[in-house]
Structure 1
Amino acid sequence: MTATTPVAPAVAPEWVLADKFRDLTGTTTNTVHQRRKKGVWLDGVHTAVVDRRLYVNIKAADQWIKNQLSQPRPA
């Protein structure tokens, strides 16, 4: 019997379920919902609801984080 090595997907998904996003980033589903409610994350850009399931666009969320880092903060 030989051991198998996990294989990374050939194409990284752009959209993942909110639970998977939580596993990857630590951002809770509740936080995702709050960002949608406040208009911080936009449906169709950062998030999507398909068949009553909440998805997060990993690339858009990552870009949003990068943008937050580049904005000056008041002292």
Structure 2
Amino acid sequence: MSNEHQIRWVPLKRYCELTGESPHTIHCRRSAGVWVDGKQSKKVQGGGIWVNLKEVEKWIETSSCL
């Protein structure tokens, strides 16, 4: 599959299914400013949260262990 056809944004529910993380974890990251709205995740019209898989991967790769 070419990069231009890869899925970038997925609904929060699907992201949680793929990663095993809970919606609560994602909401905490958003509330704490760890994930930036519009970058790693985004609240869309209608109230749903979507997650940007490409940006989350970048975040993981550049995150330091505390």
TM-score interval (norm. to shorter): 0.7 to 0.9
Cα displacement (A) at 1:27: 1.6
Task: State the TM-score, normalized to the length of structure 2.
Answer: 0.83
% identical equivalent positions: 32
SS at match of 2:10: strand
- Structure 1 residue identity aligned to 2:53: I
* Structural mapping, 1:17-56, within 5 Å: 17-50=11-44, 51-56=46-51
Q: Which runs of 4+ in 1 moved over 4 A?
A: none
Q: Which runs of 5+ in 2 are unaligned?
A: none
Asked which structure has the greater RCO (Cα within 8 Å, sep 6+), the reply is 2
The answer to which structure has the higher helix fraction is 2
Aligned Cα root-mean-square deviation (Å):
1.6
Task: State the TM-score, normalized to the length of structure 1.
Answer: 0.74
Q: Which runs of 5+ in 1 are unaligned?
A: 1-9
Partners of 2:41 and 2:57 lie apart in 1 by 12
